[in-house]
């Protein structure tokens, strides 16, 4: 005896279940994919304004500042030019500092040295420091300038 | 050969029996099987409540996903949203869904509110359903306002600065309210933290309570049938018939959402799509620039469309009116309007077949005064903009309010019945809001 044909109700139920199922898949697949974090981990700051004016930074000195959640170093050369770099040593991520006597950047942990372009010039650091773009922006109503540091 | 065991009333799998025994699902199934929906010529409007619920669930789901990558805080919020839309897989879809669905939710909410109002579904015994519904309306407006700031971009920063400045005009408590809302004298990272807490914790908790009460009351009282409307035959079973019709609406809404997203991937919440798409393509761009409190306000900045009518009204009010600050009057007027909205079932006693009482008389007088003010403002705005037809329209609206009051007064003596006043005022309010929104958008 052959199977009876599906009733109208059973057919409609099947169509509805199919439609709902496909909608659910269309929602769940991107949601699950969304949950997998992308390579490169987390949101990164692309630009920041330093909390002090360019004129407050003495020549031939450096200062550490926060770039997003990472440490960074701003240096004013003897000639008055302002440069900024990531302050994390490329050797083992110690925080570097500016050495005015040598006019270079020093990592105290293992005596790694970088020049004022960020290039690793002595010691164990394997790579240069990441250099950032520095722009100066005149503050409204005054002669001073904001230091705006952005990722290159 | 037929089975020797008796056929059960409804087939139940072992899983269904397991859940039934422990969760008592039988009563829920009985409710679903017995719940019916009346059929009549206005039954189309029944779907809008479910539409609001569906879009709200879309907001909850996409909001939870966004929470996993969003970082509150002035230093990181913008970058985290940028990260979501550029680096996270399907992040652009999740963020766009959240943003566009919020606009559709507001639209559906307004349609639902208007349909319940004009069909007078708020009459006894559904007064509290109306009250919880209006409460939810205010909660959703606050959801929109607080969520708008979270990307911490220029547009949101200035829109919030302007929007949170408005309560300052309230007498005595204004400056304190502004400080309370902002978490300080100005819009800063403290405001962002406060709005974030509001958006992801306080408002969802409030919504859970109000929505639970609202849905319970809707189940308890069933769907309202307007008076003097003939029902077309027996009521429709809620499950599966009405639910399936509801779901057609949800699929259409999903289709509209996805179409808008694909055509305008990152339209910010403020875009009155598609007009902005047609006239100002910039509004279809991504995040815009990060908020900078020291930068000037962007040119042509305006609030998002759902607040445009308030913005335009406040713009049109003169600086002083009868010795009072125009802005104070405007803010108090909107506050009075919100209070009236909440109390409609208790003011329109005629809809429930009840005679007026002292409260409804006083309230009715306030409502009429507000209506005349609205008509006056509308007429004034049309005069200022040089539209003589609009002026005539405003005057006709004012005259019609007076006529409705007089007609209602004559009928009240003969029989208690639905008044003309409330629907008239409702249409006036709708016309006012639409006209002000359009003027606000195009000027």
Q: Are A59 and A41 in contact (CB under 8 A)?
A: no
Q: What is the pLDDT of residue A40?
A: 65
Task: Assess whether A66 and A125 both reside in one domain.
Answer: yes
Q: Is residue B40 part of a domain?
A: no
Task: Assess whether B59 and B154 both reside in one domain.
Answer: yes
Q: Is residue B266 part of a domain?
A: yes
- Rounded Cα gap, residues B364 and B82, in angstroms: 51
Backbone φ and ψ of A104, nearest 5°: -140, 175
Number of domains composing chain A: 2
Please give the mean pLDDT across all residues of chain B. 82
Task: Assess whether B233 and B251 both reside in one domain.
Answer: yes
Q: Are B267 and B276 in contact (CB under 8 A)?
A: yes
Q: What is the pLDDT of residue B269?
A: 42
pLDDT digits over A98-135, tens only?
999 999 999 988 889 999 999 999 999 999 999 999 99
CATH number where A57 lies: 2.102.10.10
Task: Assess whether B326 and B430 both reside in one domain.
Answer: no
* Cβ separation A40–B87 shorter than 8 A: yes
CB atoms within 10 A of CB B212: 11
Task: Assess whether B360 and B283 both reside in one domain.
Answer: no
Task: Assess whether B244 and B104 both reside in one domain.
Answer: yes
From its phi and psi, is residue B55 left (phi > 0), alpha (psi between -120 and 50) or beta?
A: alpha
- Rounded Cα gap, residues B340 and B362, in angstroms: 12
Q: Are B91 and B69 in contact (CB under 8 A)?
A: yes
Of all residues in chain B, the percent with pLDDT exceeding 90 is 28
Residues of B whose CB is below 8 A from A30: 89-90, 93-94
Task: Assess whether B106 and B186 both reside in one domain.
Answer: yes
Mean pLDDT over B52-77 rounds to 94
Task: Assess whether A32 and A52 both reside in one domain.
Answer: no
- Rounded Cα gap, residues B184 and B176, in angstroms: 10
Crossing angle of helices B243-263 and B47-67, in 10° steps, is: 50
B16-24 long-range contacts (CB < 8 A, ≥24 apart) are none
- For residue B92, what are its two tokens? 């652009």
* Cβ separation B290–A16 shorter than 8 A: no
Q: Is residue A144 part of a domain?
A: yes
* Closest to B147 measured CA to CA, from B229, B59, B243, B65: B59
B270: pLDDT confidence band, cut at 50, 70 and 90?
Answer: very low
* Residue A16 near chain B (CB below 8 Å): yes
Say how many CA atoms lie within 13 Å of A49 toward its Cβ: 14
- For residue A28, what are its two tokens? 């769940």
Q: Is residue B310 part of a domain?
A: no
B158: pLDDT confidence band, cut at 50, 70 and 90?
Answer: confident
- Rounded Cα gap, residues A6 and B171, in angstroms: 71
Q: Higher model confidence: residue B282 or residue B435?
A: B435
* Cβ separation B68–A140 shorter than 8 A: no
B166: pLDDT confidence band, cut at 50, 70 and 90?
Answer: confident
Q: What is the pLDDT of residue A117?
A: 93
Out of B101-105, B248-252, B422-426, which region has the weakest mean confidence (pLDDT)? B422-426
B275: pLDDT confidence band, cut at 50, 70 and 90?
Answer: very low
* Cβ separation B75–A38 shorter than 8 A: no
Q: Are A98 and A84 in contact (CB under 8 A)?
A: no
A35, A36, A46: residue with CB nearest B79:
A46
Q: What is the pLDDT of residue B198?
A: 96
* Closest to B438 measured CA to CA, from B376, B375, B378, B393: B378
Give the domain range for residue B427. 348-443
Task: Assess whether A30 and A59 both reside in one domain.
Answer: no
Q: Which of B2, B60, B79, B252 to mutate to test the interface with A (most CBs of A within 10 A)?
A: B79
Task: Assess whether A25 and A66 both reside in one domain.
Answer: no
* Closest to B199 measured CA to CA, from B187, B191, B188: B191
Out of B98-102, B210-214, B330-334, B383-387, which region has the weakest mean confidence (pLDDT)? B383-387
Strands laid side by side in the A145-151 sheet: A47-53, A145-151, A131-138, A82-86, A70-76, A61-67
Q: Is residue B39 part of a domain?
A: no
Task: Assess whether B357 and B329 both reside in one domain.
Answer: no
Give the domain range for residue A31. 1-36
A34, A38, A42: residue with CB nearest B94:
A34
What are A65's strand-pairing partners? A72
Task: Assess whether A51 and A93 both reside in one domain.
Answer: yes
B69: pLDDT confidence band, cut at 50, 70 and 90?
Answer: very high
Q: What is the pLDDT of residue A109?
A: 87
Out of B50-54, B158-162, B264-268, B417-421, which region has the weakest mean confidence (pLDDT)? B264-268
Task: Assess whether B341 and B360 both reside in one domain.
Answer: no
> Do the strands A70-76 and A104-107 form a parallel or antiparallel pair, or are they unpaired?
unpaired
Rounded to a whole number, what is the distance in Å from the CA of B247 to chain A's nearest CA?
10
Mean pLDDT over B143-167 rounds to 89
* Cβ separation A16–B244 shorter than 8 A: yes
pTM over 0.90: no
Q: Is residue A21 part of a domain?
A: yes
- Rounded Cα gap, residues A34 and B16, in angstroms: 33
pLDDT digits over B220-245, tens only?
888 888 877 777 778 888 888 888 88
The burial of B415, by beta-carbon neighbours within 10 Å (0-12 exposed, 13-18 middle, 19 or more buried), is given as exposed
Task: Assess whether B327 and B394 both reside in one domain.
Answer: no
CATH number where B82 lies: 1.20.810.10
Task: Assess whether A65 and A123 both reside in one domain.
Answer: yes
Task: Assess whether A24 and A52 both reside in one domain.
Answer: no
Residues of A whose CB is below 8 A from B79: 43-46, 68
Out of A39-43, A93-97, B304-308, B390-394, which region has the weakest mean confidence (pLDDT)? A39-43
Q: What is the pLDDT of residue B413?
A: 53
The burial of B228, by beta-carbon neighbours within 10 Å (0-12 exposed, 13-18 middle, 19 or more buried), is given as exposed
Q: Is residue B312 part of a domain?
A: no
B76, B82, B93: residue with CB nearest A30:
B93
Task: Assess whether A80 and A138 both reside in one domain.
Answer: yes
**Looking at this predicted complex, what is its ipTM?**
0.75
* Cβ separation A44–B94 shorter than 8 A: no
The conformation of residue A137, written as its DSSP 8-state character, comes to E
Task: Assess whether A32 and A51 both reside in one domain.
Answer: no
From its phi and psi, is residue A125 left (phi > 0), alpha (psi between -120 and 50) or beta?
A: beta
Task: Assess whether B376 and B327 both reside in one domain.
Answer: no
Task: Assess whether A82 and A141 both reside in one domain.
Answer: yes
Q: Higher model confidence: residue B295 or residue B197?
A: B197
Task: Assess whether A32 and A74 both reside in one domain.
Answer: no
Task: Assess whether B99 and B245 both reside in one domain.
Answer: yes
Highest average pLDDT, of B178-182, B275-279, B353-357, comes from B178-182
Q: What is the pLDDT of residue A54?
A: 92
Q: Is residue B311 part of a domain?
A: no
Task: Work out how many CB contacts closer than 8 A connect A with B.
Answer: 54
- pLDDT > 50? residue B276: no
Q: What is the pLDDT of residue B423?
A: 83
- Rounded Cα gap, residues B430 and B419, in angstroms: 18
Q: Is residue A41 part of a domain?
A: no
Out of B36-45, B291-300, B361-370, which region has the weakest mean confidence (pLDDT)? B291-300
Task: Assess whether B416 and B398 both reside in one domain.
Answer: yes
Task: Assess whether A27 and A52 both reside in one domain.
Answer: no
Mean pLDDT over B166-192 rounds to 89
SS3 letters across chain B: CCCCCCCCCCCCCHHHHHHHHHHCHHHHHHHHHHCEECCCCCHHHHHHHHHHHHHHHHHHHHHHHHHCCCCCCCCCHHHHHHHHHHCCCCHHHHHHHHHHHHHHHHHHHHHHHHHHHHCCCCCCCCHHHHHHHHHHHHHHHHHHHHHHHCCCEHHHHHHHHHHHHHHHHCCCCHHHHHHHHHCCCCCCHHHHHHHHHHHHHHHHHHHHHHHHHHHHHHHHHCCCCCCCCCCCCCCEEHHHHHHHHHHHHHHHHHHHHHHHHHHCCCCCCCCCCCHHHHHCHHHHCCCCCECCCCCCCCCCCCCCHHHHHHHHHHHHCCCEECCEEHHHHHHHHHHHHHHHHHHHHHHCHHHHCCCCCHHHHHHHHHHHHHHHHHHHHHHHHHHHHCCHHHHHHHHHHHHHHHHHHHHHHHHHCCCCCCCCHHHHHHHHHHHHHHHHHHHHHHC
The conformation of residue A152, written as its DSSP 8-state character, comes to -
Residues of B whose CB is below 8 A from A44: 79, 83
Q: Which of B88, B152, B292 to mutate to test the interface with A (most CBs of A within 10 A)?
A: B88
A48 → chain B, closest CA residue: B75
Residues of A whose CB is below 8 A from B54: none
Number of domains composing chain B: 3
- Rounded Cα gap, residues B318 and B328, in angstroms: 11
């Amino acid at each position: 005896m052959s199977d009876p044909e599906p009733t109208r109700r059973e057919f409609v139920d099947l169509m509805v279940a199919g439609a709902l199922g496909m909608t659910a898949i269309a929602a769940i697949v991107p949601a699950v994919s969304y949950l997998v974090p992308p390579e490169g981990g987390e949101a990164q700051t692309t630009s920041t304004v330093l909390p002090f004016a360019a004129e407050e930074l003495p020549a031939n000195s450096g200062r550490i500042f926060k770039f997003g959640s990472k440490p960074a170093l701003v240096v004013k050369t003897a000639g008055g030019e302002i440069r900024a770099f990531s302050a994390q040593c490329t050797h083992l991520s110690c925080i570097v500092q500016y050495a005015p006597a040598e006019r270079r950047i020093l990592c105290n942990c293992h005596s790694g040295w970088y020049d004022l372009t960020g290039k690793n010039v002595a010691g164990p650091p394997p790579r240069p420091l990441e250099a950032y773009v520095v722009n100066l922006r005149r503050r409204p109503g005054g002669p001073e300038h904001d230091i705006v540091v952005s990722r290159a | 050969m037929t089975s020797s065991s008796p056929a059960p009333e409804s087939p139940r799998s072992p899983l269904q029996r397991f859940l039934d025994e422990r969760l008592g699902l039988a009563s829920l199934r009985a409710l679903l099987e017995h719940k019916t929906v009346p059929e009549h010529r206005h039954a189309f409007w029944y779907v809008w409540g479910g539409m609001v619920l569906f879009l709200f669930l879309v907001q909850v789901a996409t909001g939870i996903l966004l929470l996993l990558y969003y970082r509150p805080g002035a230093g990181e919020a913008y970058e985290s949203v940028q990260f979501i839309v550029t680096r996270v897989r399907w992040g652009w879809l999740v963020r766009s869904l959240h943003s566009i669905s919020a606009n559709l939710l507001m639209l559906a909410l307004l349609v639902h509110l208007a349909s319940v109002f004009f069909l007078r579904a708020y009459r006894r015994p559904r007064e509290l359903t109306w009250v919880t519904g209006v409460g939810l309306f205010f909660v959703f407006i606050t959801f929109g306002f607080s969520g708008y700031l979270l990307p911490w971009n220029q547009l949101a920063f200035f829109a919030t600065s302007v929007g949170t400045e408005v309560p300052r005009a309230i007498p005595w408590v204004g400056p304190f309210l502004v400080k309370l809302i902002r978490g300080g004298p100005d819009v800063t990272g403290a405001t962002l933290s406060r709005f974030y807490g509001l958006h992801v914790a306080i408002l969802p908790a409030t919504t859970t309570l109000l929505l639970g009460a609202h849905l319970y009351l809707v189940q308890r009282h069933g769907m309202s049938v307007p008076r003097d409307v003939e029902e077309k035959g027996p009521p429709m079973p809620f499950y599966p018939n009405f639910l399936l019709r509801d779901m057609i609406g949800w699929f259409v809404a999903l289709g509209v959402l996805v179409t808008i997203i694909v055509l305008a991937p990152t339209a910010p919440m403020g875009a009155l799509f598609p007009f902005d798409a047609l006239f100002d393509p910039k509004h279809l761009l991504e995040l815009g620039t990060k908020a900078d409190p020291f930068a000037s306000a962007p040119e042509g900045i305006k609030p998002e469309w759902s607040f445009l009518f308030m913005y335009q009204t406040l713009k049109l009010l003169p600086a002083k009116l009868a010795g009072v600050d125009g802005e104070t009057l405007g803010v108090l007027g909107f506050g009075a309007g919100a209070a009236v909205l909440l109390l409609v079932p208790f003011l329109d006693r005629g809809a429930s077949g009840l005679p007026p009482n002292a409260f409804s008389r006083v309230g009715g007088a306030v409502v009429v005064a507000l209506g005349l003010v609205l008509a006056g403002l509308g007429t004034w705005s049309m005069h200022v903009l040089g539209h003589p037809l609009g002026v005539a329209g405003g005057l006709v609206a004012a005259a019609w309010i007076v006529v409705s009051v007089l007609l209602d007064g004559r009928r009240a003596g003969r029989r208690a019945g639905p008044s003309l006043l409330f629907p008239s005022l409702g249409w006036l309010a709708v016309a006012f809001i639409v006209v002000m929104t359009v003027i606000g958008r195009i000027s």
